[in-house]
Structure 1
Amino acid sequence: MSNLVTASTAAPASHPRSRLDFRTWSPATASLVSGLGLLAMVVLMTAGYFGGVVPLITPGDAAKTAADISQSGMVYLAGVLAIFLVTLIDVLAAVAWFALFKNVNRKLSAVAAWMRVTFAGLFAVATGQLAYAYTVLDQPELALHAIESFRTIWLISLGLFGLYLILIGYLEFLSVFVPKVFGVLLVISGTGYIIDAIGVAFVEGFTPMYGLFAIIGETAGIFWLLIKGRKLTIR
């Protein structure tokens, strides 16, 4: 009888579903999830886009591009799949960073999260252009146009991602647990993305280059999240 009483009054084990509720994540969990997610995105984007898709594209030569993709169809499709996975992880990163900064400013963190989710949606739409291009390889000009549309939609939507980074940078600057320098680096990164987006949208022949500044801020952020952030004990 005593065993039954003990069992009935014991604290219930945490339900597995509670671990999936990002609203209950601790800062340490949010940091670990976002750090691993960002690292996975770098690997997938590098392998998928720069390793699988870009080498098969010859700018201005639709016939060669279509022929090269046809000959390496599995490589191309694997690259497109990797990019699509990046869009999904973008959503995960958005909710993880909301969980990390919700105690700094909940409303602003929510706005930033929805901004990144919207960007992920636009990125998925752009990725759909790459998938569509594969279905019209028998029409090389149309296929190359779809591939070019991917790049245009992606680069312009990065302007929204730039605004997101600026908001996160501001939240980092307000927080007491992230070094101020990371907030400054993210603001610089976000500004670079915005400049590139405006240039691509309104300046013919513009070559995106300012987003390259993001490499410094985002790379430093990944290391901080995985090394320092995952040890946070604040509530």
Structure 2
Amino acid sequence: MHITTQKLSSQRKSAFIGGIFLIIMAAAAFFSYGYAHQSLVVNGNAYDTFANLKSSSTLFKAEIFSWLIILIADIIVAWAFFIFLKPIHKQLALLAAWLRLIYTAILAIAIAHLILVLLLTSNSAPLLNVEEQAMLFLNGFQVIWDMGLIIFGGHLMVVGYITMQSSTIPKMISFLLLLAGLSYIIMHTLLTFFLQFEKTIAIFQAILSIPMLLGEISFGIWLVVKGGKIIKNGY
């Protein structure tokens, strides 16, 4: 399939935009979940968690704001991926976009739980068992997000399969995307449905965290640097 200059320009723009927003998303996720959420939430301790949220309300608000950035970035990336991957396989590119948008909708529901927690911590009126209520919503956020990440893993596997068909995208990146997708599915299926196997989950987390991190990050960097720049007679 011959790629015209106009199509190439569209490919380059979508690749660059998608890559930039992937990197923005990674940075926002590192702050929101890797730093803020882990600093504020004490697993299994509703009272300490609530005290942290009350005393560090600015940090909690910053976490929620970062999640909103991630939400918007996910929508943009879904669009950019579709434009970039459409010449390779239109139907699968559409499937990948829909999977990411479904994940984004689930993430929005999860974020709503954090907003409810913010309302609870901001309420000056005395409420019954407010700490337990806040912890319930925080747990709800985690479970809903974990379920969404199973779908996100499916999205990455579809993207990895599509990129594997390309002659311009490095096969190593495609492999990392496939591995990351499979890792997300395994890891978050365990976290959602098999929490009783704590030791097994800890082992899987240690093993799968690296491919989960490298998959989209490597693709994002490649998109920014090289995506859509190479003209070939076929993808």
Please indicate the TM-score interval, normalised by the length of the shorter structure: 0.7 to 0.9
Matched, 1:99 2:83: yes
Aligned partners of 2:141 and 2:8: how far apart in 1? 36
Structure 1, unaligned runs of 5 or more: 1-22
Instruction: For 1:224-235, list aligned pairs within 5 A.
Output: 224-229=222-227, 231-233=229-231
Displacement of 1:24 in angstroms is 9.9
Residues 1:212 and 1:141: Cα distance change in structure 2 (over 3 Å): farther
Q: How does 1:6-155 map to 2 (within 5 A)?
A: 26-137=10-121, 138=127, 139-155=130-146
Query: Could you tell me whether the CA contact under 8 Å between 1:27 and 1:234 is conserved in 2?
Result: no
Contact 2:160 2:178 in 1 (8 A): yes
- The alpha-carbon distance between structure 1 residues 165 and 128, as it changes in their structure 2 partners (threshold 3 A), is same
Which of these two proteins has the greater Rg computed from alpha carbons? 1
User: Does 2:145 correspond to 1:161?
Assistant: no
Q: Can you list the C-alpha shifts for 1:35-80, whole angstroms capped at 9, x where unaligned?
A: 1000100111112222222201111111111111111111101111
Query: Which string of whole-angstrom CA distances, capped at 9 and with x for unpartnered residues, describes residues 180-205 of structure 1?
Result: 22111111110001111221232133
Structure-1 residue corresponding to 2:170: 179
Distance in 2, matches of 1:179 and 1:58, equals 41
Q: Which residue pairs with 1:190 in the alignment? A: 181
**What is the rounded CA distance, in whole Å, between the counterparts of 1:25 and 1:99 in structure 2?**
11
Unpaired runs of at least 5, structure 2: 1-6, 122-126
Contact map agreement 2:22 2:220 (CA 8 A) in 1: yes
Give the superposition deviation at 1:232: 3.8
Question: Residues of 2 paired with 1:77 and 1:229: CA distance?
Answer: 35
Q: Which has the higher contact order (CA 8 A, sep 6+)?
A: 2
In terms of mean alpha carbon deviation, does 209-218 or 28-37 score higher? Answer: 209-218
Contact persistence 2:8–2:228 (CA under 8 A): no
Please state how far the C-alpha of 1:107 moved relative to its aligned partner.
Answer: 1.1
- The one-letter code of the counterpart of 1:102 is K
Residues 27 and 232 in structure 1, CA contact (< 8 A), matched pair in contact too: no
Letter in 1 for 2:222: W
Q: Deviations over 1:153-191 (max 9, x none)?
A: 111211101111111001001112211221111111100
Distance 1:107 1:94 in 2: 14
Structure 1 segments (4+ residues) deviating >6 Å: none
Q: Judging changes above 3 Å, is the alpha-carbon distance between structure 1 residues 187 and 214 closer, same or farther for their aligned structure 2 residues?
A: same
Deviation, 1:103, is: 0.7
Give RMSD over aligned pairs.
1.9
**TM-score, length-normalised on structure 2?**
0.84
What is the CA–CA distance in structure 2 between the aligned matches of 1:136 and 1:120, rounded to whole Å?
25
The verdict on how the C-alpha distance between 1:94 and 1:24 changes in structure 2, with shifts beyond 3 A counting, is farther
Q: Give 1:234 shift.
A: 5.8
